[in-house]
């Protein structure tokens, strides 16, 4: 290689930022994904995507981000190397949230407007099955063994257990009003499901489908109607859960052994969903009204920073 | 499976369970995606106690300041500048006592502006719910065999008009729902600014 070309190559390599990890935030009002450098928390790029991006999920190989663009009625695939949308996957009307199968080849998509979960084969790029569930499905999660999918339906106030092999609902569990999010514990034995209007989290036995416990939240200075449980993040060691409480503007910290609330952290306004940094030292949460992302120190249980992002941030994903 | 068939199948599947369902009721007239918070409280925005300040309107300075900065016609930057000008007149020693009271007054005024707005949105939601019933009924009539009703042409015309009216209102609903959100956002902006001032040395 000629010296000039070599110098140019070195310059290009040197000028390309080496990210330890990146944070992706969907902004439902301005139709963008904000991309931040996880170390500096500076915005690297703002990517235009389809209308009303909400649920976002990272592919298993970490190379793509799946985006529910709800008002565009499809799912966009953001290539994380080039930060461009390079593929569009089909969906029914108003896809809001989704979960990825453990092999990374199937997306289970909650279609809010037609009361069904669609099963999307990613390599084929087509919907291979539709599973009727309750009205206004939203929260989606896949069990650690990959055999079960759960879906919450907001209007029916249920958590539906779906058998992956047969694509049928095997159990429906009545929970608090307007359940919006569900997550399996790492051992697959329990499902934590948050209910927005009830302001509670139900802990369900994933095998017997019985509710084992319901967590209630109480902030004396905050009206009960403002305590709206939405996103849940459980640490990898399974010891601590963080529950986003919407317009209470708090994240509740829960000891998973005692199921007691240890602390309430004041964050931005209408906190929706969150994601941990790869080393789990930080939790990032999206605040839908204050248009920012709060940074929580997981060990100290303190809010350390607020970072402005786009308009009406909704979902967060972290790519190592 | 079509959307309608999927919905019917889902309802059939869930009917027995839904019949036993006893979740708390959701206001059927609240048309916005975000669950309604009828009254805002300072504690949702403030870390620590906020005493009620019911007599703030007796204070001439606050009576002039608070409605002005809460007013949605006052731009954010201008409102913050006016708030900061006022805070600058309070000695650092008095801020721990006076800033929470000031915020309490701002929340009070915000609720005074927001409550009638919430009522109007609920009225709009109620009207739209009733209009949905009207559209459903007239559509059923319009779906009948044209030969069986000499007024069929008038009925389809009425149906089209009603559907248009419904859709136009629906299109404005999202904007209407943004108004209380904008007020909450403004309140949060004041809270963060005042708490920052509170912790400044």
Q: What 3-state DSSP class applies to A196?
A: coil
> What pLDDT is recorded for position B49?
81
Query: Quick one: how many helices (H) and strands (E) in chain B?
Result: 5, 0
Average pLDDT over chain A reads: 94
| Pairwise CA distance, residues B48 & B51, whole Å | 10
Give the rounded percent of residues in chain A with a pLDDT score beyond 70.
94
Residues of A in Cβ contact (< 8 Å) with B42: 221
- DSSP output for B181-200: HHHHHHHHHHHHHHHHHHH-
Domain ranges of chain B: 3-197
Q: What 3-state DSSP class applies to B12?
A: helix
> What pLDDT is recorded for position B12?
43
Give the rounded percent of residues in chain A with a pLDDT score beyond 90.
90
Chain B: closest CA distance from residue A136 (Å):
10
| Pairwise CA distance, residues A216 & A199, whole Å | 7
Residues of A in Cβ contact (< 8 Å) with B26: 177-178, 197
Cα distances (Å, whole numbers) of residue A270 to A162, A235, A294, B179: 30, 22, 11, 15
Nearest residue in chain A measured CA to CA from B40? A223
| Pairwise CA distance, residues B8 & A144, whole Å | 31
B169-192, pLDDT tens digit by residue?
888 888 899 999 999 999 999 999
A93, A175, A268 ranked by CB distance to B3: nearest: A93
Interface test with A, best of B26, B35, B182 (most A CBs within 10 A): B35
End-to-end CA distance of chain B: 65
B43–A222: do the CB atoms touch at under 8 Å?
A: yes
Chain A: closest CA distance from residue B16 (Å):
11
A133, A172, A225 ranked by CB distance to B37: nearest: A225
A222, A246, A269 ranked by CB distance to B185: nearest: A269
**C-alpha Rg value of chain B to the nearest Å:** 25
Reported confidence tier of residue A126, pLDDT bands at 50, 70, 90: very high
B43-94, pLDDT tens digit by residue?
999 988 888 877 899 999 999 999 999 999 999 999 999 999 999 999 989 9
Residue A203 touches chain B, beta carbons under 8 Å: no
Average pLDDT over residues A275-302: 97
Residue A268 touches chain B, beta carbons under 8 Å: yes
Interface test with A, best of B10, B19, B49, B195 (most A CBs within 10 A): B10
Average pLDDT over chain B reads: 84
Is the ipTM, as predicted for this complex, more than 0.85? no
Residue A92 touches chain B, beta carbons under 8 Å: yes
* Residue A129 pLDDT greater than 60, yes or no: yes
Is the model more confident about A4 or about A33? Answer: A33
* Residue A79 pLDDT greater than 60, yes or no: yes
Beta bridge partners of A251: A244, A265
Average pLDDT over residues A141-170: 97
> What pLDDT is recorded for position B7?
37
Average pLDDT over residues A24-30: 97
A177-220, pLDDT tens digit by residue?
999 999 999 999 999 999 999 999 999 999 999 999 999 999 98
Binding-face residues of A in 157-196 toward B, CB within 8 A: 157-158, 169, 172, 174-178, 195-196
| Pairwise CA distance, residues A245 & A251, whole Å | 6
- DSSP output for B122-144: HHHHHHHHHHHHHHHHHHHHHTS
The pTM assigned to this predicted structure is 0.87
Please list, in sequence order, all residues whose beta carbon lies within 8 angstroms of the beta carbon of residue A249, skipping any fewer than 6 positions away. Answer: A266, A267, A268, A269, A270, A271, A287, B44, B45, B188
Average pLDDT over residues A54-71: 97
**Residue of A184, A316, A199, A160 whose CA lies nearest to A241:** A184
> What pLDDT is recorded for position B170?
83
Average pLDDT over residues A144-152: 97
| Pairwise CA distance, residues A250 & A267, whole Å | 5
Chain A: closest CA distance from residue B71 (Å):
18
Average pLDDT over residues A221-250: 96
- DSSP state at residue A249: -
Chain A: closest CA distance from residue B79 (Å):
16
Nearest residue in chain A measured CA to CA from B47? A266
Dihedral over Cα of B56, B57, B63, B69: its sign:
positive
Reported confidence tier of residue A91, pLDDT bands at 50, 70, 90: very high
A130, A158, A247 ranked by CB distance to B37: nearest: A247
Interface residues of chain B, partner chain A, Cβ below 8 Å: 1, 3, 6-7, 9-11, 13-14, 17-18, 20-26, 34-47, 49-50, 181, 184-185, 188-189, 192
A290–B188: do the CB atoms touch at under 8 Å?
A: yes
* Residue A12 pLDDT greater than 70, yes or no: no
> What pLDDT is recorded for position B50?
83
* Residue A138 pLDDT greater than 80, yes or no: yes
| Pairwise CA distance, residues A84 & B42, whole Å | 42
Nearest residue in chain B measured CA to CA from A306? B192
| Pairwise CA distance, residues A108 & A80, whole Å | 21
B84-141, pLDDT tens digit by residue?
999 999 998 999 999 999 999 999 999 999 999 999 999 999 988 888 888 888 888 8
> What pLDDT is recorded for position A319?
97
Residue A65 sits at the vertex; the CA angle it makes with A60 and A71, to the nearest 5 degrees, is 135
> What pLDDT is recorded for position A2?
53
């Amino acid at each position: 290689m000629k010296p000039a070309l070599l110098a140019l190559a070195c310059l290009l390599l040197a000028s390309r930022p080496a990210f330890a990890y990146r944070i992706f935030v969907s902004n439902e009002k301005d139709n963008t994904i904000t991309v931040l450098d996880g170390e500096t928390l500076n915005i690297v790029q703002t990517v235009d995507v389809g209308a009303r991006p909400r649920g976002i999920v990272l592919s298993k190989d970490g190379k793509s981000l799946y985006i529910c663009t709800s008002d565009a009625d499809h799912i966009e695939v953001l290539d994380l190397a080039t930060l461009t949308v390079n593929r569009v996957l089909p969906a029914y009307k108003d896809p809001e949230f989704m979960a990825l199968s453990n092999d990374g080849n199937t997306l289970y998509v909650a279609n809010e407007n037609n009361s069904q979960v669609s099963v999307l084969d990613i390599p084929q790029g087509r919907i291979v099955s539709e599973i009727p569930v309750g009205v206004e499905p939203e929260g989606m999660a896949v069990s650690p063994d990959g055999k079960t999918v759960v879906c919450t339906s907001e209007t029916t106030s249920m958590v539906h257990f779906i058998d992956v092999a047969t694509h049928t609902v095997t159990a429906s569990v009545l929970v608090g009003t307007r359940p919006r999010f569900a997550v399996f514990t790492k051992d697959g034995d329990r499902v934590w499901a948050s209910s927005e209007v009830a302001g509670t989290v139900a802990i369900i036995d994933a095998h017997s489908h019985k509710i084992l416990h319901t967590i209630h939240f109480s902030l004396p200075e905050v009206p009960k109607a403002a305590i709206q449980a939405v996103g849940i993040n459980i640490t990898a060691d399974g010891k601590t859960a963080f529950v986003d409480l919407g317009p209470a503007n708090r994240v509740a910290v829960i000891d998973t052994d005692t199921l007691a609330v240890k602390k309430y952290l004041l964050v931005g306004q209408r906190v929706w969903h969150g994601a941990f940094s790869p080393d789990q030292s930080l939790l990032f949460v999206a605040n839908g009204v204050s248009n920012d992302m709060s940074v929580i120190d997981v060990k100290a249980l303190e809010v350390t920073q607020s970072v402005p992002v786009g308009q009406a941030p909704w979902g967060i994903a972290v790519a190592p | 499976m079509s959307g309608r068939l999927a919905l019917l199948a889902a309802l059939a599947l869930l009917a027995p369970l839904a019949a036993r369902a006893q979740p708390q009721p959701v206001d059927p007239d609240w048309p916005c995606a975000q669950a309604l918070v009828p009254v805002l409280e300072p504690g949702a925005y403030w870390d620590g106690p906020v005493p009620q300040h019911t007599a703030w309107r007796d204070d001439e300075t606050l009576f002039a300041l608070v409605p002005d900065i809460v007013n949605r016609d006052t731009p954010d930057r201008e409102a913050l500048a006016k708030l900061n000008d006022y805070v600058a007149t309070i000695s650092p020693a008095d801020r721990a006592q006076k800033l929470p009271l000031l915020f309490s007054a701002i929340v009070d005024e915000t609720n005074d502006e927001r409550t009638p707005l919430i009522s109007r949105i609920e009225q709009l939601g109620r009207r739209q719910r009733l209009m949905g019933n009207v559209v459903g009924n007239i559509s059923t009539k319009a779906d009948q065999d044209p030969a069986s009703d000499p007024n069929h042409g008038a009925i389809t015309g009425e149906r089209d008009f009603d559907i248009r009216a419904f859709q136009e209102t629906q299109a404005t609903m999202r904007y209407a729902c943004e108004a209380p959100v904008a007020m909450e956002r403004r309140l949060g902006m004041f809270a963060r600014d005042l708490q920052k001032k509170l912790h400044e040395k």
